[in-house]
């Protein structure tokens, strides 16, 4: 056995690192270079730490800084099919081996949702963490977080906002309000009135309790939206009047109302004032998300926050603003950690009536537009479906690979697979999402 001095150890490790990827050239090292990690990237992480220490003793050589890019490779869990915690740990460990570094876990229970098998059914709806501000189905989050961390995986709590009306559904003034295009009157809508200060305080109290758990982040569910005819509560109308100087007038918003073949009433177009209304609604929704984020970070400063977007947000921003009150560009300015786009290719293919070639172009456009708007591949989270929503069947691996290749050709991004299915062989394409290493070299 022999020992290498720090300088020689540094040079040896650099040669080892160079052997990990064909992308490193034998010519002069550029100022910044990215390489792909091999499958045993945990071993390489240790090598990077040694190199960082060694460079401190090399004042006459270029100083290299090697860092792991935090590119999220996530699995979003609608349902754990594990019967007990031991079985759950086996599933989580298999995800770790396949290259995943993040678990996004549903911590809410809506009516009709299936319960986690290893959890007791304390309530039909509610949350999976301890709180006095909502019915508790079972306090399992702490155990799931501990298992995830023990296996080297970060855990994000997937939460609702507007639909988090567990136990407060009938409180006066707390219910959302929509505008009925047929009767031209206001009517109750699904979920909470997010313009009501008491409702917002309720959500802050609820998620303060969540922040006390050892979690790494939060994903806001896609219920943080308002459809084109939603958001007409008294609080909202008064708030808009304070902002714009006059009450919102639905009759000026919706032009050419007609009845469709499905019996639903729609608007042919929108008036100019409608767009000001939509922008204000979007700003109000982002404000709710920011309030929750800031409140939770007071308890857990290291928490990261991801926010869901429908695919229309990057593909057709004007439609996303009208139909959903979503604005990706405005959200980026609001400063979240991850911007999750639900780029579910089969859903998109059906809704837009696209064949394979057209679909691939649209998927590429969604990825490219999101990357350009967010401006950071690591913060861009492209969500892919691995099961057919209608049949429930697993999508063929080659089809998933095709979509992953599209993302890779656009420069890559963080990725989330939806939903978790234990029978899916994720190792078949894990090589497509190994996180890269960034190498920077600067001379003293």
Q: Could you please report the per-residue DSSP string of 345-380? A: HHHHHHHHT--HHHHHHHHHHHHHHHHHHH--TTTE
Helical axes 41-55 vs 6-18, angle rounded to 10°: 140
The most confident of 13-27, 116-130, 199-213, by mean pLDDT: 199-213
What pLDDT is attached to residue 334?
97
In sequence order, the 6+-apart residues with CB closer than 8 A to the CB of 215 are 141, 145, 155, 156, 157, 300, 303
Structural domain spans, the chain: 6-67, 72-231+283-433
Strands 108-109 and 126-127, how do they pair?
A: antiparallel
What pLDDT is attached to residue 188?
97
pLDDT tens-digit readout, 178-192: 999 999 999 999 999
> What integer is the mean pLDDT of 188-202?
98
27 vs 152: CA distance, rounded Å: 36
Question: Mean pLDDT score of the chain, rounded to an integer?
Answer: 88
What pLDDT is attached to residue 36?
47
Band of residue 50 on the pLDDT scale cut at 50, 70, 90: low
Give the Å distances, CA to CA, from 378 to 70, 121, 435.
6, 37, 10
> What's the pTM?
0.85
pLDDT tens-digit readout, 250-280: 999 999 999 999 999 999 999 999 999 999 9
Band of residue 20 on the pLDDT scale cut at 50, 70, 90: very low
Phi/psi at 373 (nearest 5 deg)? -75, -45
105 vs 78: CA distance, rounded Å: 7
Phi/psi at 19 (nearest 5 deg)? -75, -10
Do 71 and 414 touch, CB atoms closer than 8 A? yes
In sequence order, the 6+-apart residues with CB closer than 8 A to the CB of 57 are 6, 7
Percent of the chain past pLDDT 70, that is, above it, reads 81
What pLDDT is attached to residue 33?
46
**330 pLDDT exceeds 70?**
yes
Band of residue 176 on the pLDDT scale cut at 50, 70, 90: very high
**388 pLDDT exceeds 60?**
yes
Q: Tell me the β-bridge partners of 441.
A: 64
What pLDDT is attached to residue 428?
72
> What integer is the mean pLDDT of 160-189?
97
> What integer is the mean pLDDT of 191-199?
99
Residue with tokens 């990825």: 367
Measured CA angle at 46 (ends 40, 47), to 5 deg: 90
What pLDDT is attached to residue 53?
59
What pLDDT is attached to residue 425?
82
337 vs 69: CA distance, rounded Å: 14
346 vs 354: CA distance, rounded Å: 9
What pLDDT is attached to residue 427?
75
DSSP H helices in 98-220: 141-150, 197-211
250 vs 181: CA distance, rounded Å: 9
- Lowest-confidence pick of 70-74, 130-134, 217-221: 70-74
- Lowest-confidence pick of 31-35, 74-78, 104-108: 31-35
Chain centroid, CA 10 distance in Å: 38
| The CATH homologous superfamily of the domain defined by 72-231+283-433 | Glycosidases (3.20.20.80)
Give the Å distances, CA to CA, from 297 to 212, 300, 305.
10, 5, 10
Band of residue 422 on the pLDDT scale cut at 50, 70, 90: confident
pLDDT tens-digit readout, 209-247: 999 999 999 999 999 999 999 999 999 999 999 998 999
Band of residue 424 on the pLDDT scale cut at 50, 70, 90: confident
């Amino acid at each position: 056995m022999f020992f290498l001095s720090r300088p020689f150890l540094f040079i040896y490790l650099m040669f080892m690192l160079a052997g990990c990827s064909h992308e490193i050239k034998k010519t002069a090292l550029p100022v910044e270079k990215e390489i792909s990690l091999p499958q045993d990237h945990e071993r390489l992480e240790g090598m990077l730490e040694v190199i960082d220490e060694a460079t401190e003793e090399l004042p006459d050589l270029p100083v290299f800084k090697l860092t792991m890019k935090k590119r999220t490779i996530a699995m979003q869990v609608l349902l754990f099919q594990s019967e007990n915690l031991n079985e759950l740990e086996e599933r989580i460990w298999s995800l770790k081996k396949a290259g995943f570094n993040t678990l996004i876990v549903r911590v809410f229970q809506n009516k009709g949702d299936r319960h986690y098998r290893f959890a007791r059914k304390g309530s039909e709806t509610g949350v999976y963490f301890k709180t006095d501000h909502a019915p508790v189905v079972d306090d399992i989050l702490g155990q799931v977080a501990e298992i995830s961390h023990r296996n080297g995986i970060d855990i994000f709590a997937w939460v609702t906002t507007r639909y988090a009306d567990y136990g407060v559904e009938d409180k006066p003034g707390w219910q959302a309000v929509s505008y009925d295009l047929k009767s031209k009157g206001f009517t109750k809508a699904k979920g909470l009135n997010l313009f009501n200060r008491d409702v917002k305080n309720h959500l802050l109290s609820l998620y303060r309790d969540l922040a006390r758990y050892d979690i790494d982040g939060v994903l806001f569910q896609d219920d943080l939206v308002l459809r084109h005819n939603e958001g007409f509560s008294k609080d909202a109308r008064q708030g808009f009047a304070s902002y714009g100087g006059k009450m919102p007038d639905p009759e000026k918003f919706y032009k050419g109302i007609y009845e469709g073949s499905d019996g639903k009433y729609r608007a042919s177009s929108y008036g100019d004032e409608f767009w000001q209304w939509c922008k204000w609604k979007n700003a109000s929704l982002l404000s709710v998300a920011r309030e929750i984020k800031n409140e939770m970070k007071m308890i857990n400063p290291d928490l990261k926050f991801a926010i869901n977007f429908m695919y229309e947000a990057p593909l057709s921003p004007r439609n996303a603003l009208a139909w959903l009150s979503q604005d990706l560009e405005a959200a980026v300015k609001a400063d979240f950690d991850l911007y999750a786009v639900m780029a579910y290719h089969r859903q998109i293919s059906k809704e837009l009536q696209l064949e394979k070639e057209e679909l691939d172009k649209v998927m590429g456009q969604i990825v490219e537009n999101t990357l350009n708007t967010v401006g950071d591949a690591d913060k861009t989270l492209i969500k892919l479906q691995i099961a057919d929503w209608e049949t429930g069947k697993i999508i063929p691996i080659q089809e998933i690979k095709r979509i992953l290749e599209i993302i890779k050709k656009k420069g890559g991004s963080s990725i989330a697979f939806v939903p978790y299915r234990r029978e899916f062989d994720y190792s078949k394409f894990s090589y497509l999402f190994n996180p890269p290493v960034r190498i920077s070299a600067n001379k003293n």
